Amino acid sequence: MSGLYVGIMSGTSLDGIDIALTEIAHDQQARLVAARCLPFPDSLKADLLALCAPGNDEIRRSGLTSLAWARLAAEGVKQLLADHHVDTHQVIAIGSHGQTIRHHPELGFSLQIGAPALLAELTGIDVITDFRSRDIAAGGEGAPLVPAFHHWLLSHPVHTRTLVNVGGFANLTIMRPGQAVLGFDSGPGNILLDYWISRTAGQAYDNNGDWGRSGNCQPDLLAALLDDPYFQRSGPKSTGREYFNGQWLDQKLATVPATMRAQDVQATLVELTALTVARAVDLLASDSQAIYLCGGGARNGLLMERLQQFLTSVPVTTTAVLGVDPDWMEAMAFAWLAWCHKNKLPGNLPAVTGAAGLRILGACYPAQ
Ligand SMILES: Nc1ncnc2c1ncn2[C@@H]1O[C@H](COP(=O)(O)OP(=O)(O)OP(=O)(O)O)[C@@H](O)[C@H]1O
Ligand SMILES: [Mg+2]
């Protein structure tokens, strides 16, 4: 079923809900028709954030927050379609990631909320969701899922291409002709950057990395941050807020002298993201034609610069040069995963997630 799909991504940064109306065709074409980002109202963001850590009355809070998330997403979808004169009947399905509130593949589960039944009811469109659990049931990490879409859309017959999605966490997709795709979370992307600037300077994120640029990377702190077993592990691997979070950073900060300025910490966190990505590229993808960034991190000029500094022989750019807007890549990937589900095609890459085999991902909540 080629045609229009809506991808909805609500990522770990908790910056908002990305909605991408995407036209998908069988000949490996995905075209972004229209898109918008709905920032979370402060109260919804606070409720989602609270659910990412253990707390009282979680089941009730999760139920209510899930409904609030779906109402916001449904309004966004309807508005986007109306703005572009697309009737809901023209959309084959919505692929909704939902909001991850716990990611524990090592325990056999990853939980996303987002009331898919309500989303189907309010939009009148089939909703495919819960994409991670089938891969986890087959022994995989359930993440990252976007490498399969990257590969479907952007692999090259001759050149090795490496994509890096820098959202809350950073994940790589290494596509070498004739070989299995590699993909994994290298570690934190923006999650610690957002936490630190929000806590010390009251801003949601560091625009273009300008504030971090006014600081200096602190080698002692960088060494302490890098001293974590996650960075030594090879893929398949995935991570989340339950591991890398404000508490993790605070514990690391407690091990180094407290004389540095807040901007110095920010500069060091940018270095951590850049260095962990660069090390993975050095180890596994040094023959890449280029490194193509997507996700909000592609807007961080300092991060791009540091990455280029580490990777002297590989150009660092964004997926825009491949014709895909870096802001919408992930939401488009979930439109594609809905397309896969509708066409009974597998959506996972076992070499990436570690699953026992290819699996059809997601569960469908029909509109009728
Ligand atoms: N202009 C900018 N300058 C610097 N950083 C930015 C800018 N715009 C966005 N960002 C960063 O990007 C983040 C959002 O990125 P994105 O939406 O790709 O992540 P996400 O929703 O967490 O997705 P993922 O599922 O990939 O983790 C913001 O929280 C912010 O840190
Ligand atoms: Mg986002």
E strands in the chain: 3-10, 16-25, 29-39, 91-104, 109-113, 127-129, 160-166, 169-175, 182-188, 288-294, 316-318, 363-365
Per-residue DSSP letter, 266: H
How many Å lie between the centroid of ligand 1 and the Cα of residue 178?
A: 32
> What is the pLDDT, as a whole number, of residue 126?
98
> What is the pLDDT, as a whole number, of residue 1?
79
How many Å lie between the centroid of ligand 1 and the Cα of residue 11?
A: 8
> What is the pLDDT, as a whole number, of residue 241?
95
Q: Which tokens is 83 given?
A: 């703005």
Angle at alpha carbon of residue 273, lines to 268 and 277, rounded to 5°: 140
Specify the length of the chain in residues: 368
> What is the pLDDT, as a whole number, of residue 237?
97
d(CA 7, CA 19): 6
How many Å lie between the centroid of ligand 1 and the Cα of residue 219?
A: 25
d(CA 31, CA 158): 23
Nearest to 3 by CA among 347, 290, 357, 339: 339
Residue nearest to atom 13 of ligand 1 (CA): 296
> What is the pLDDT, as a whole number, of residue 259?
85
- CATH 3.30.420.40 positions along the chain are 3-143+328-365, 146-322
Q: Which tokens is 55 given?
A: 């707390």
Which pLDDT tens digits describe the chain residue by residue (368 residues)?
A: 789 999 999 999 999 999 999 999 988 899 999 999 999 999 999 999 999 999 999 999 999 999 999 999 999 999 999 999 999 999 999 999 999 999 999 999 999 999 999 999 999 999 999 999 999 999 999 999 999 999 999 999 999 999 999 999 999 999 999 999 999 999 999 999 999 999 999 999 999 999 999 999 999 999 999 999 999 999 999 999 999 999 999 999 999 987 899 999 999 999 999 999 999 999 999 999 999 999 999 999 999 999 999 999 999 999 999 999 999 999 999 999 999 999 999 999 999 999 999 999 999 999 99
> What is the pLDDT, as a whole number, of residue 257?
83
How many Å lie between the centroid of ligand 1 and the Cα of residue 168?
A: 6
Q: Best substitution site from 184, 299, 334 to test ligand 1's pocket, by max atoms within 8 Å of Cβ?
A: 299
Residue nearest to atom 21 of ligand 1 (CA): 11
How many Å lie between the centroid of ligand 1 and the Cα of residue 118?
A: 27
Q: Does the beta carbon of 206 lie inside 6 Å of ligand 1? A: yes
Q: Does the beta carbon of 205 lie inside 6 Å of ligand 1? A: yes
Residue nearest to atom 17 of ligand 1 (CA): 296
97 CA: nearest ligand 1 atom: 25
Residue nearest to atom 19 of ligand 1 (CA): 167
Ligand located closest to 103 CA? 1
Q: What is the 3-state secondary structure (H, E, C) of 43-108?
A: HHHHHHHHHCCCCCCHHHHHHHHHHHHHHHHHHHHHHHHHHCCCCHHHEEEEEEEEEEEEEEHHHC
Burial class (CB within 10 angstroms; exposed 0-12, middle 13-18, buried 19+) of 157? exposed
What is the fold of 3-143+328-365?
Nucleotidyltransferase; domain 5 (3.30.420)
Name residues with Cβ closer than 5 Å to ligand 2, which is an ion. 11, 15
Residue nearest to atom 15 of ligand 1 (CA): 296
Per-residue DSSP letter, 41: P
How many Å lie between the centroid of ligand 2 and the Cα of residue 18?
A: 6
Domain 146-322 has CATH 3.30.470.30: no
236: cis peptide before it, omega within 30°?
A: yes
| The pairing of beta strand 127-129 with beta strand 91-104 | parallel
Beta bridge partners of 219: none
Q: Best substitution site from 190, 193, 207, 327 to test ligand 1's pocket, by max atoms within 8 Å of Cβ?
A: 190
Residue nearest to atom 20 of ligand 1 (CA): 11
Q: Does the beta carbon of 15 lie inside 6 Å of ligand 1? A: yes
